[in-house]
Structures are given as C-alpha cells and as structure tokens.
Amino acid sequence: MNKLIVTRVELKNKNYIFSGIYKDKGFSEIHLEEEGEDAGNIGDIYVGRVSEVVKNLNAAFVEYKKGHKAYLPLQYNKKIMTQKEGVKESVKKGDGVFVQLKKSGVKTKEPVLTGYLSFSGRYVVIELNKSGILFSKKIKDDNYKARMSDLIEKTVGEVVSENNQIFSENNKSKYETDKINKIKRENNAAEDKNNYNINRVEKPNICIIVRTNAYKTDSEIVLNEIRDMLKDIIKKISEGRNRTFYSEIYKEDRRFNKILRDSYKNPDNDDNNCDNNCDNNGYNNGYNNCDNNGDNNSYNNCDNNQGFERVVDEVISDREELLKEIKYKDVKCILYKDDLLPLNKLYNIEGAFEEIKKEKYLA
C-alpha cells in the first residue's frame, strides 16, 4: 500500500510542507515546499511588466511581482502573450506580458520566467504559445493516437473558435477571424458545428500533451477535461487582460495535489524502462517530438513515472487544514492524531532527511 504522508516540518529555521510517498517501511519519494515564499512558487502565472530588454543577451527583465524582477530568455521564448496586443514575437519596455515562474532565484541570480504558459490536468497538459498534439512516450498505441488526435482537434476547435483572438498572433488575429467567419458562411451551420476542424484555419497557439493517465481512460472523460481546462484558461487570460501589473492569474497546485494528480497505474505493466528523449538542454521532457525550443518546463510537464505503478492508496496527515486542500476526492484521507507518537516519529521523517540529499527534493 502506498501512503502519501503530508505534514509541516521546520528545517534550518524555515517552514516547509512535507509530502512523501511511503511504501515498504520507507519513503520512495519526498518533496519539500517552502512556505511564505515572497517571490512566488514555480508554476505560478503573473501579469508582468517588461522593465528592460537587453539585446546583446537576447533577453528581457520582467517585474512579475512588485519589487521582484526575473529573467526572460527571448531565444527560448519565440512567442509571448501580451496583455493588450495578443501573441507577439517580440516585446518592448513597458509591455504587459503573461509569464510563468520557471525557476526560483538562487543567491544573486534572478528567477527565470517562461512565456510558454503551462496548465496541468490529470489526463492532459495544455501549453500556450505552442501548437500541436503530443503524447506521452509510454503511449505506444498508434491507433489510439490517431483516434484521439482527431477527437482533440475537433474539441479544441469547438472551444476556441469563438475566442481565437486570445490565442492568435496580433498581426493575424483579424485575418484568422475573417477566415473562420468565411468558412462558417460557406457551410451549413449544423454541419460546421459537427465537423469544424482547426486544421481548416491556421492553428491556434495551443499544444495539447496527452499524459499516460489518459490511455485506457474513457475518451469523453479526457475530452471533458480539455474542454473545462480551455474554458478556465480563456477566462483567466480574458480577466488578466484587464488586471493591473503584478497580478497573479494562476496558482500552481501544492506538491501533494500534484502527486495525486499524477498518480497512475501502468495499464499494461510492460513498459519498465524509461527511454524518454531529452531536449537540447539535456533535460528529460518525457514526451515524443516535443518542440520546446530548449525551454524545459519539467516542473509540471514531465510525465516522469518511469513506467512503474505509482498509485496513492491513502493520504495521511496530522494537519487538518492541509487535508482540506486535497483536490482529488477519489482517495481516502486520514487525519492522524496521537500525542504519544507524532506522525513524524511514526514514519521517521527526520531519518529520511539524514539518508537523502535534501536539495534533490526541494520543490
């Protein structure tokens, strides 16, 4: 039985949320998230303001939170969603831009941002400012890929057809809108609703990555998640266009919710070797043919379960407030109470830190 242990710990005078998978009398995986992080958490999305563009570095510095600047490498961010002008291939000082925190600052180095906005669900990852439909490398069924690709294309087309200007490049949005309207005029309305295919117009800046969890899950469940996520993304971006600089429009899940979201049982139990490709920075991206321009988003994109079963049977915590944050209701949650034998002693959490290099597991 795999148990997800969630609690609060203190290390070197800092407070952390501890999340660890406990199996066979030991932790197979542990994570620490520092609480009260003023500079934001990896995966959070902000409306930032470009404070400076440095041409010789091919980079921009963006103030994403008041008093917090970060580095945005433009060579890895070919398209950036701006607050007022849609998707652009370049930015200038003063532009409002949607950016996602990719790496925390280290010592004197600024945090690193990305313009490739990423939203993770249980069955898919949706990335903005890229295009395509990709599949986890563990999904080897070509018939499944072909069938799902057609269904996903149709689903995305239906959702974004009325909001295409959000995902289009600024200098093409009117053209694309006119082209969509022309197609609709030339076809029967009912037929168009059923057969609308995003390949018939220039594809929006949306990339759908199908995760291992989706395979052998009812296709309508996967498609419904895509619909719901896209509608939520459209709402967040639309509202973000009218928000002030430094507004946070998306907050990444806590690590324990990510673990639950990403838990899955290998459907065939025959993929025991991880042979995922690496991008051109050497980081494991975990997906077939993912053209990420060297922009590693491994903090929430990597489907890195390495081919083995990774199922959480129950969540145990001595913190009621953390259990209330659990998003997934299909797992048993247990509130642990025993003053004589605290949770950290029962599972030897302190001992786990002594055996494992703590830095490797910092979220």
Is residue 321 a part of any domain in this protein?
yes
Is residue 204 a part of any domain in this protein?
no
Choosing from 68, 89, 114, the residue where a domain stops is: 114
Is residue 227 a part of any domain in this protein?
no
Is residue 89 a part of any domain in this protein?
yes
Q: Are residues 28 and 63 in the same domain?
A: no
Please enumerate in sequence order all residues whose Cβ is within 8 A of that of 142, keeping only pairs 6 or more positions apart, or say none.
none
Alpha-carbon separation of residue 78 from 67, 116, 130, 169, 356 (angstroms): 26, 9, 9, 12, 39
Number of domains comprising the chain: 2
pLDDT value for 302: 35
Is residue 352 a part of any domain in this protein?
yes
Cα–Cα dist 272/358, whole Å: 27
Q: Are residues 54 and 21 in the same domain?
A: no
Cα–Cα dist 190/200, whole Å: 17
For 279, phi and psi rounded to 5 degrees?
-80, -175
- Domain of 57, CATH number, reads 2.40.50.140
CB-based contact 125:118 (threshold 8 Å): yes
pLDDT value for 336: 97
pLDDT value for 320: 96
- Looking at the DSSP bridge assignments, the partners of residue 20 are 5, 30
Is residue 196 a part of any domain in this protein?
no
Cα–Cα dist 64/248, whole Å: 9
pLDDT value for 187: 57
Choosing from 54, 85, 114, the residue where a domain stops is: 114
Q: Are residues 49 and 108 in the same domain?
A: yes
Whole-structure pTM value: 0.74
Q: Are residues 65 and 110 in the same domain?
A: yes
- Return the percentage of the chain with pLDDT > 90, whole number: 55
- Single out the residue of 290, 255, 336, 248 nearest to residue 38, CA to CA: 248
Is residue 232 a part of any domain in this protein?
no
Q: Are residues 15 and 49 in the same domain?
A: no
Q: Are residues 18 and 73 in the same domain?
A: no
Is residue 56 a part of any domain in this protein?
yes
Those residues of the chain that have pLDDT short of 50 are 171-180, 189-202, 267-308, 359, 361-363
Choosing from 70, 91, 114, the residue where a domain stops is: 114
Please enumerate in sequence order all residues whose Cβ is within 8 A of that of 247, keeping only pairs 6 or more positions apart, or say none.
46, 47, 240
pLDDT value for 170: 57
| Structural domain harbouring 49 | 45-114
- Single out the residue of 197, 276, 206, 209 nearest to residue 234, CA to CA: 206
pLDDT value for 12: 81
Alpha-carbon separation of residue 115 from 15, 40, 295 (angstroms): 30, 16, 10
Tokens of 222: 């996967």
Quick: pLDDT tens for 57-75.
999 999 999 999 999 999 9
3-state SS string for the chain = CCEEEEEEEEECCEEEEEEEEEECCEEEEEEEEECCCCCCCCCCEEEEEEEEEEHHHCEEEEEEECCEEEEEEHHHCCCEEECCCEEECCCCCCCEEEEEEEECCECCECCEEECCCEEECCCEEEEECCCEEEEECCCCCHHHHHHHHHHHHHHHHHHHCCCHHHHCECCCHHHHHHHHHHHHHHCCHHHHHHHCCHHHCCCCCEEEEECHHHCCCCHHHHHHHHHHHHHHHHHHHHHHCCCCCCCEEECCCCHHHHHHHHCECCCCCCCCCCCCCECCCCCECCECCCCCCCCCCCCCCCCCCCCCCECCCEEEECCHHHHCCCCCCCCEEEECCCCCCCHHHHCCHHHHHHHCCHHHHEC
